[in-house]
Structure 1
Amino acid sequence: MRRIYKSVVAGLALLPVALLTTTGSAAAATNSLTVATYDRTGAKVSAALTVVNVSTYQEYKGTGNKTRWVLPKGTYAIVGDIWTSRDHSDTLSARTVIVSGTTKTTLDARWGKPLTVNLDKAPGPAFNQTLNAFICVGPDTFGQTGAWNSPGKLYVIPHNSKYLRFAYSSDWQDALHNESYVVAGSATTVPTTLTHTFHTASLATLTNYIRAGASAGDSVDLRMTASGACQNGNSISMYGGEMPAVAKVHALAGTWTVDTDWSAAQKNGDQAFIGFLPRTVKLAAGKSSAQALLSSAWGPARELPAVGGGTISFGTSSMFTDPSAGTWGGEGSERSLVTLYGPDNKVIRALWRTDWRDGDPWFSANVKKNGWYTLKVNAQRYRPDQTYPATLLSTRADVIFRMNVTAKAPARTADVIIPQLIPLGLSLTNSAKPGTKTTVQIRPDRRYPGPGNGLRFGSVTGKSATLLSSSDGGKTWHPAAVRKVGSSWQAVVTNPGQAGYVSLRARLLATNGQWVEVTIQRAYRVS
C-alpha cells in the first residue's frame, strides 16, 4: 500500500537547515543525535525522519541509521514511518529525547500496536476499508508524518509525551455506488488504546450533489477532513471522477471540512487543476443532510469596491463565484474590462484586468471630486490553455456599482450590496425543463472584509430588488415579479418552451440610494 511522508510547517517562515556531520561551532558540535530504526522483522532499515525542537518548532530532516544530527542542546521530538517490506506494513513511530552531548535513541517497529477501527455493523462486502494515521508535534502540524494502509497493516508506537499529537481516520468505500462510511479521532498524546468501534446508527448522512455545467472542469475530487488535533492534512477522498455525480457519506457527527477540487484537460493534453471550493459542515448524529456543489449561477460575489482616500479600487478575482462558496473558493480564471465613470459621466479610467497566471486582477483610479460614480466590470471566462466546453454556463458576468463617494474621506468599503443570483430546483446539470418555472433567489451579499485591510465597514440595508430574464442571449429582457422572503428576495422566471439558456439580470437598491446591478449570461440551461 502507499505510504505518506508529510511535513507541514504553519505560521513560521523557517530557513533551510543543514544536516551537519563533523562541522559547526564548538558548542553545537558537542550535541548530536543519531536514531537507530528497525522494521517489524528486527532488521535495520532506512526510514525518513523529522526531528523537531519542541521549543522553537524548528524541523530537521534526515534518515534513521544514516543521519547524525548536530543540534543545539534541548528537547526534541522524532517522528517517522517505518516500512516493513516483508508484510507491506507501516509503523508510525515517535518519541521525545533530550539532546545533550552525544545522544542515541531507537525507533523499533516491533514496539508498534495495530490500529484497529470497526463499525458495530459492517457495511457489507462491497465496501473496502482503509486506515489513516498521523503524528505531529506541538499545537499545529509541525513535523507531521502519516501513513495509510489496509486493516492489519498499520501500526503505531504509543508514547505519552505532551509534545505529541495523534490523529486517525478510517473509511469504507463502495466506489461503484459512490457511497462511503468515515470516522475519525484524535488525541493529545500517542495513546496506548488503538482499538476503536463506532456505532453505525450514530453516524450522520451527508449527500453531496456535484453538479456539472457551471464549472469548466471535466473531473472532480471530493474530500473530507475531520476537526481535531493533527487532523489537518488527513483528508479522505469521498469521490473522484466525472461530473455530475451524487456521493453519499455516512460520517461521524461533528465538524468536517469538505473540499471540492476540479480539473480539466488542457490543449497540451495535460490534466490541470483549475478550481477549488472549501466548505465547513456540521453533522448531527443520526441526522441526514444534503448540499449542492458547483451550482448555478456563477457571478460577482465577496468583493466590493473600496472608496475614499482619493481612490476607487476593485479586485476582479471573484467575478465568477459559486453561490455556495464562502470566503474562499472558485475557478478564478477571468479577464475583465473595468471602467470608472465620474460624476460628469466621463470615463476616468478603463483598464483590462486578469488573474490568469501572473496577471494583475486589481483596478485602481484616483478621484478628486465628491459625487456619484459608476464602476462597470465586464468579465469573461479566460483560460487560453483550455478549450471551454460548448455547454459552459456563466460564460460572462457583468456588474455595475453606482456609488455616492466622498473622495477624500477615510478609505472604506463602498456602501453597496451585491445581488447574488441562485436559481432553485435545477437538475444535476444545472438545467430546468422547457416550459417550466424557475424560482431565482436574490441574496444580498455584503461581507466584512476583515480588519487587516484597514477599510471602514458601514451598515447598509437593502431596500428593493428587481429581476429580468432573457432566453435569446440578452437581445430582449423580460421582468419578473419579485417578493421579499426573509433577508432575501425571490422571483419566478418562466422558462422557454425549447432547449436553450436563460440569462439573468438583477438590481439591488439600498436605502441610501446606491445600487448594484449584476448580469450573468447563460445563468442556467433549459433542456
Structure 2
Amino acid sequence: MKTLSRSVLAALLAAAIGVTPAAAARAPAPRANAVTLITGDRVVLAGQGHRVEPGPGRQVGFMKQVRGGHLYVIPSDAMPLVTQGVLDRRLFDVTQLLAWRYGDADTPDIPIIEQGFTAPLGSAQVRRLPTLGMNAARVPKAEAAQAWRQLTAARTLAAGRTKVWLDGRRPFTLDESVKQIGAPQAWQQGMTGKGVTVAVLDSGYDAEHPAFKDAVVQERNFSDEPDMRDDLGHGTHVSSIVLGRGEKYRGVAPEASLAMGKVGGRKGPTDSAILAGMEWAAVEVKAKVVNMSFGAPDGPELDPLEQAVNTLSERTGTLFVAGAGNDAPKGKVISPGSAEAALTVGAVDRQGRMADFSSPGPRVSDHAIKPDVTAPGVEIVAAAPGGGHRPMSGTSMATPHVAGAAAILAQRHPDWTGAQLKAALTGSAAAVPGATLYQQGAGTIDLVRALRQQVVPRQANLWASFPWDDAGGRTATRTITYANSGDTPLTLDLSADGEVLKLPSGQVTVPARGEASVTLTIDAAGKAAGDHPGTVTARSGETVIRTLAGAYVEPESYDAIITIIGKQGLPTDPFFSEIYDPRTGTVHVPAYRDGVARVRLPEGDWNLYAFLWQRVEGKTVRTLADSPLKVDGGDQRVTVDTRRAKPVKISIDDPDARLQDTFALGLDHGKWNAWGFMGGVDVNSELFVVPAPSPGLIYTLATTWNSKDAYTLVDRRSGGLPEDPTYHAKRKDLAKITATYRAAAAQATGRPLVGLHGFGLDAPAGEIALPGTLTHYLTPGVKYDSGFEVGTSLMSDGGRVMKRGHTSEVWNTAVTGPSFLSPGGSRTGDGLSFSALGMFADGGADRTGTDLAATGVATLAKGGQVLARADLANCDVYQPEGCELRADLPAGPGRYTLTASMSRDVPHSTLSTGVESLWSFRSATTAGERPLPLMAVRYSPEGLDPSNRAKAGGVTRLPLRVERNPGSAPAKVVSVRLETSADDGANWRPVPVVRVGRDWRAVLTNPSAPGFVSLRAAVTDSAGDTVTQTILRAYAVG
C-alpha cells in the first residue's frame, strides 16, 4: 500500500484531536474506524479526522508524530519504554495498524510477540517458539488496559531484559532465467538438488500443479487461513522457480525436495507465523535451505526475524535466503534480508542489468554491504495456480533462483553448513556491469563457477565501523580463509579493490585438501566520513573468488551530555525528548537515566526538544523546552532548567466562554515536528514553556472554548519558544464564521469540525441538532481545515487561511456526490489506480467527502472485456485499499471504461442513496505517473430549505459545474446533457441546459407530490472523454 505523505494527509483529513473521556462519550462515531492500543487507549478515526479516548481510569497524555507518512499516537506512560527499545514503536503506528487490518473493526485482539517472559502476557497464547525464546500471543482489546498494567509491572521490562513487539505483517515481495545462472550446465553434471530439502515459507502452493509432482516431502500451515491453498499465487510461483518439475518451465534444482510452509495469504504473513515456520524448517524438517521472499523495512535495531535468522543459522547450519526488497531507489534492503547470516538477493533483468526496483544497501544498522548477490528477477515465467504459468517480477523471484542454486551446491557438498554455502555462492558471483556494490553485492550468482572452483572462501562479507575519534587509528584486521577441496595446491593472485583495503602480499598458496588464511587490513585513517565498500579478489586461471569488504567512517562526531532539571530542582527524566536536525529531519532519541543522557552527534547545528510531566504541589505540570544545540570541536554539555519556564496564559473577552479543550501543542522546525494531545489540560495552570530563541522554530498552542458561540484560539509564534507565552484574544480581531448545517433526515444530529490544517479536526460545539446554525470565532492568519460529521458521513474542505471579519457557509447541503478536490486516479507506465474516496462530497465548493457505510463496486473494461473489478466498502483515507481499484493495462494507447457505483442506506440521510460515475477515456503508456482524464459534475441547487427540500410543484434553479481530476490533461467541456427522475431512476426525462460563463445552469420543475429528484448528467470534453453521472435522490421535494 502507498503511504500518505504529510501534505496528502493534510489535504484529505485532519490528523489528530485530543479529547477528554467525557467529550468522547458525548460524541460517539458509529462505524468509525477505531484502533485500541496495547495500553487500552483508543484512537477513533472517522474518515476525515480522529480523536483519542484514554482507557478506563487512565489519566495520561499522548504524543502525536507524523513520520514517513505514518501517524504515531504514543501515551505518556508508554513513551519511556519505546525510547528504551523494549516496546515496539509499531504498536502505536495507527496508520500501519489499520493497513494491517489490526483495527477494532477487523480484530478483537492485539497480536504481539514476547521475549523473555516466563508466561505470555496475552490471555491467549498463539504459539511457543522455544528455540528462539519467544512467545506469540493475542491480547484481547477488552482487557488491554489490564494487560498493560501487568506489562508495566514487570520489572524486567523496564530493566531491558525483555521485549514486546507487534506481531506485524510482511508483504510477499521461468523459462529463460535458469540458463542465466548456469543451471542447465549443472544438470548435465548430475547436479539437480537431489537429496536436498528446500523449505519455502510463502503463501501456500497448488498441490495439483504438475510442477510439484513427487516434490513435496512435508507441509505445514502456519497462517490464519484454513488450508495450504495458494489464492495469491506467490508461493506456487516461488516454489516452482526453486525446484519445479517439467521440461520448458523447469526450476533451478528440479530434483530437490520441497517442504512447504504456508505463513500467510492475501494479507501477508505475520511475524509470528514466519518465526514458527523458520523454527519448523530448520529444527524439525532440518532443511538445508530456506527461501523467504517477503520482508518489511529494516530499522537500526535487531528485530525478531533478524534474530531468528542469525540464531537458527548458527545452531542448525541452515541457510536462509531472503529478498532484498522492491523499493529502489528510495528504500533500503528489507528485513529479514538485513540479517547478518542471511544470503540476501537483489534482482537483475534478462540482460544482466540491475532491475530498477531492486532495493540497495547499505544496511541501516551499520552501513555494511547488502545485498550479498543478485539473480534474475524480471518477468520470470513460473507456475501459477490452476496448472498454468505466468510471468512475475521482483526480488521475490530472484531469491528462489539462489535457493535452488544453494540446493545444487549442497548436493555437491552435503557436509557444508549454510555459512559455507553462502560464502561459496557469494565468492563465485560475477560482477554486474555498471552497478555499485550496494546494489549488487558480489554480483550475479554463477552456478557453473561455484561448482567448478576447487577453492572457496570461508567468509562472505568483512566489515568494520570506525568512530570519528578512534584511538586505534581507524584500522582493523579481518581474516579471509580459503579452503581447497582439490587434490593439488593452488596459488591465488590477490588484489584489493577499495581505498581502505590492504593485503600483506599479492599471492597465497592453498594446499591440497587444506586451508590458507590471509590477513586483510581495513585502514580508514585519513579517509573521509561515509561508506567505503570494496572487494578482495583471488584469481588463478578460471578460478575467480570475490569477497566483500569495507568500512564505514563516522562523520566528525562528539558526545552531547544533556541534563534536565525539573521544577523541584532535581535531575528529571522527560516524558519525551529528541535531538533533531531541522534541515534533514534526522532524529536521535536520548536515553535518560536520572535526568542525564549522553548522545553521540555529528558536528553541526541541532536542536534539543524535551517535554516533561511532573507532579508539583499535588498537581500535574507540563513543561515544554526546545533550544539550539551546536556540536563543534568537542563534547558538549547542555542543561535544560525547567525552573526558568514561564506559565502559559490564554483567554478570550467573552465572560461566558469556558475552556473546553487544549487539543494541540506543537512544534514545527524545518523537516521535523512534534505534537502533543493535551485533552482536558487547563493550560492556564498546568502548562509552561522554557523561553529560548531558535530561528525557524514555529510554536503552536491551539485551544477550543465554548459559550453560546464556539472559539478556536491559536497562539502561533515563530523564532523559538516565547519569552511571554501569553495570548489574549478579542472577538473584534477574530475571524467570524456563521455556519448553517442542513439536515438530510429527520431527527439527525451532527458535529461541526474545525482544526489546524494538517493537524486535526476538533468539535468545539460538540453535537448539534440538524438543521442548525453555529457562530464560530477563530484566530485569523492561520490555515484551518473545516468539516462536518453526521453519522458515518464525513465531509471536509481543502483548508483555507481565515481572515479577520465575518463570512458565512453552508454544510451538508445537497447535492452530495462525486468530487475531485483531491486526485481520484492515475496511470503509471501500464499500471492504473483509482480511488473512490470522494464519492460523497456535499454540494459546497471545494469539498470532498466519504460515507463509511456506503458500499459498491468499481470495474475497468476495454473493448467490452473486464480488466479489473474491486469491491468498495469502508471508504476511509486510513484504509484506502478498501476504496481502490488497481489494474495492469495493455501497453500502448486504448479507450477504457471505468465505472464506480456506490449505495447507502443510512439513518442520517435519505439523500444520495445511489451514486454512480461511468467514465470513458483514452489512455496510453506513460513515462511516469499521469492523472486520468476523469470528470465530476457538481450541483448547487438554489432555494432549498434547511432540510434540503425544494417546494413541491415549484421551480428549482440548478447551477452545475464540471470538476476535472487534478493534474489531468486540460480539455474544454463541449457538451452537457441533463436528465431528471421522480421515481428513483425508473423513468428519466431530459432537461435543457445552458452555458453560463465557464459553468452551466438548468431550471427544473419539481414533482407536485412529496418525494425526491434524481439527476443524471452526461458530459463530453474536447478530447472525446466522457462521464455519465447518476445520483439517486439528489434532493428532496415537499
SS in 1 for 2:850: coil
Structure with greater Cα Rg: 2
1:466 aligns with 2:466: no
The whole-number CA distance in structure 1 between the counterparts of 2:664 and 2:836 is 41
Aligned-pair CA distance for 1:105 = 2.5
Q: Choose the corresponding residue for 2:1019, options 470, 488, 508.
A: 508
Q: Choose the corresponding residue for 2:784, options 231, 238, 257.
A: 257
The aligned residue for residue 547 of structure 2 is: none
SS in 2 for 1:239: coil
User: Which letter does structure 2 place at the counterpart of 1:322?
Assistant: D
Q: Choose the corresponding residue for 2:901, options 367, 371, 379.
A: 379
1:282 aligns with 2:811: no
| 1:231-270 to 2 correspondences below 5 Å | 233=759, 237-242=763-768, 244=770, 245-260=772-787, 262=789, 264=791
The whole-number CA distance in structure 2 between the counterparts of 1:365 and 1:30 is 52
The whole-number CA distance in structure 2 between the counterparts of 1:79 and 1:307 is 45
Aligned-pair CA distance for 1:30 = 8.4
Structure 1: which 5+ residue stretches go unaligned?
227-231, 265-272, 450-456
CA contact (8 A) 1:317 1:355 kept: no
1:90 aligns with 2:622: yes
Aligned-pair CA distance for 1:80 = 0.5
Normalising by structure 1, we get a TM-score of 0.76
Q: Answer with 436-445 or 59-68: which moved more.
A: 59-68
Task: Classify 1:243/1:513 alpha carbon distance in 2 versus 1 (closer, same or farther; 3 Å).
Answer: farther
Q: Which has the higher strand share?
A: 1
Aligned-pair CA distance for 1:520 = 0.5
The aligned residue for residue 270 of structure 1 is: none
The whole-number CA distance in structure 1 between the counterparts of 2:594 and 2:623 is 16
The aligned residue for residue 458 of structure 2 is: none
Give the number of aligned pairs: 489
SS in 1 for 2:694: coil
CA contact (8 A) 2:855 2:902 kept: yes
| 1:291-370 to 2 correspondences below 5 Å | 291-302=809-820, 314-324=834-844, 326=846, 329-331=849-851, 333-338=854-859, 340=861, 342=863, 346-349=864-867, 351-354=869-872, 356=874, 358-359=881-882, 361-364=884-887, 366=889
Aligned-pair CA distance for 1:159 = 1.2
Task: Classify 1:12/1:488 alpha carbon distance in 2 versus 1 (closer, same or farther; 3 Å).
Answer: closer
1:491 aligns with 2:1020: no
| 1:173-212 to 2 correspondences below 5 Å | 173-174=706-707, 177-180=708-711, 182-212=713-743
Aligned-pair CA distance for 1:523 = 1.3
The whole-number CA distance in structure 1 between the counterparts of 2:763 and 2:923 is 51
The aligned residue for residue 435 of structure 1 is: 953
Task: Classify 1:390/1:94 alpha carbon distance in 2 versus 1 (closer, same or farther; 3 Å).
Answer: closer
Deviation by residue 1:334-380 (Cα, 9 ceiling, x = unmatched): 321425352xxx44547343254654621547468977x56252512
Structure 2: which 5+ residue stretches go unaligned?
1-19, 21-58, 73-81, 87-158, 161-365, 367-464, 469-556
Larger relative contact order (Cα-Cα within 8 Å, sequence gap ≥ 6): 1
The whole-number CA distance in structure 2 between the counterparts of 1:425 and 1:181 is 31
Deviation by residue 1:142-185 (Cα, 9 ceiling, x = unmatched): 344574424344322211233743223454322xx353363432
CA contact (8 A) 1:59 1:143 kept: no
User: Which letter does structure 2 place at the counterpart of 1:166?
Assistant: Y
CA contact (8 A) 1:509 1:515 kept: yes
CA contact (8 A) 1:134 1:234 kept: no
Task: Classify 1:50/1:370 alpha carbon distance in 2 versus 1 (closer, same or farther; 3 Å).
Answer: closer
The whole-number CA distance in structure 2 between the counterparts of 1:136 and 1:409 is 40
CA contact (8 A) 1:111 1:157 kept: yes
The whole-number CA distance in structure 1 between the counterparts of 2:933 and 2:662 is 51
CA contact (8 A) 2:819 2:848 kept: no
The aligned residue for residue 282 of structure 2 is: none
CA contact (8 A) 2:819 2:847 kept: no
| 1:11-30 to 2 correspondences below 5 Å | 11=68
Aligned-pair CA distance for 1:461 = 0.8
CA contact (8 A) 2:753 2:787 kept: yes
CA contact (8 A) 2:625 2:721 kept: no
Q: Choose the corresponding residue for 2:944, options 400, 422, 426.
A: 426
Identity %: 19
User: Which letter does structure 2 place at the counterpart of 1:320?
Assistant: F
Deviation by residue 1:257-306 (Cα, 9 ceiling, x = unmatched): 22426374xxxxxxxx7645243223332x21122233322323326676
The whole-number CA distance in structure 1 between the counterparts of 2:802 and 2:597 is 47
The aligned residue for residue 609 of structure 2 is: 78
The whole-number CA distance in structure 2 between the counterparts of 1:42 and 1:428 is 60
Task: Classify 1:427/1:239 alpha carbon distance in 2 versus 1 (closer, same or farther; 3 Å).
Answer: farther
Q: Which has the higher helix share?
A: 2
RMSD: 4.4
SS in 2 for 1:290: strand
User: Which letter does structure 1 place at the counterpart of 2:645?
Assistant: G
Aligned-pair CA distance for 1:468 = 1.5
Task: Classify 1:489/1:8 alpha carbon distance in 2 versus 1 (closer, same or farther; 3 Å).
Answer: same
Task: Classify 1:53/1:418 alpha carbon distance in 2 versus 1 (closer, same or farther; 3 Å).
Answer: closer
CA contact (8 A) 2:64 2:71 kept: no
SS in 1 for 2:984: coil
SS in 1 for 2:798: strand
Task: Classify 1:144/1:71 alpha carbon distance in 2 versus 1 (closer, same or farther; 3 Å).
Answer: farther
Aligned-pair CA distance for 1:458 = 2.8
The aligned residue for residue 395 of structure 1 is: 913
CA contact (8 A) 1:503 1:522 kept: yes
CA contact (8 A) 1:341 1:348 kept: yes
Aligned-pair CA distance for 1:310 = 7.1
Aligned-pair CA distance for 1:482 = 2.0
The aligned residue for residue 54 of structure 1 is: 581
Task: Classify 1:414/1:80 alpha carbon distance in 2 versus 1 (closer, same or farther; 3 Å).
Answer: closer
